[in-house]
Amino acid sequence: MARTKRLVNNEQGFTLIEIIAVLVLLGILAAVAVPKFIDMQDEAQLKAVQSVKMELAARANQYHAKYLLTKTGTEHSQDAAAWALEDIGEDFSMTGSGTAITIRPTSDPTVTYNLPFTIGTNTSAASFGTITKNP
């Protein structure tokens, strides 16, 4: 019994200063990690939009190759409205007019990406320009 009482008296917890130091360190880690995480999300979304651009460019080349082989069809010279009808999956929606396509992520419809392009001709496939983000 005396031994048990002595063990209870010798037990010590964390001091208030130690707890405050841990909280300060956690706050610093959170202040550094959260902005990096947000930047990573934005970068991932831009990479996904760039993959949409590459998919559209591949389709433009395919349409142009089909035209060169068969000399039929009008798909090689699609305008922005026609390109916007392309099925690019559930993650994005597209609208188009003139020589620009607007891409909207379905996860955040307030953000838009503009994708200018040059309409294809009988001698060249449509080409796509640099993506710009509109906040």
26-84: pLDDT as tens digits:
999 989 888 888 888 888 888 988 998 898 888 888 888 887 888 766 555 566 777 77
Spatial CA neighbour of 61 closest among 79, 81, 75: 75
Find where tokens 């009008």 sit: 74
The C-alpha atoms of residue 30 and residue 17 are separated, in whole angstroms, by 20
pLDDT computed for residue 87 by the predictor: 79
Q: How many structural domains is the chain composed of?
A: 1
Domain-located, residue 94: yes
Domain-located, residue 9: no
Domain-located, residue 90: yes
Using left for φ > 0, alpha for ψ between -120 and 50, and beta otherwise, residue 58 falls in alpha
Output the pTM of the full model: 0.64
Domain-located, residue 3: no
| Domain enclosing residue 123, as ranges | 15-134
**Does the structure show a pLDDT above 90 at 94?**
no
What residues contact residue 84 under an 8 Å CB cut-off, 6+ apart? 94, 95, 96, 101, 102
pLDDT computed for residue 124 by the predictor: 80
Select the more confidently predicted residue: 58 or 120. Answer: 58
- Taken in order 36, 41, 46, 48, the sign of the CA dihedral is positive
Strand, helix or coil for residue 126: coil
Type of residue at 127: S
How many residues belong to the chain? 135
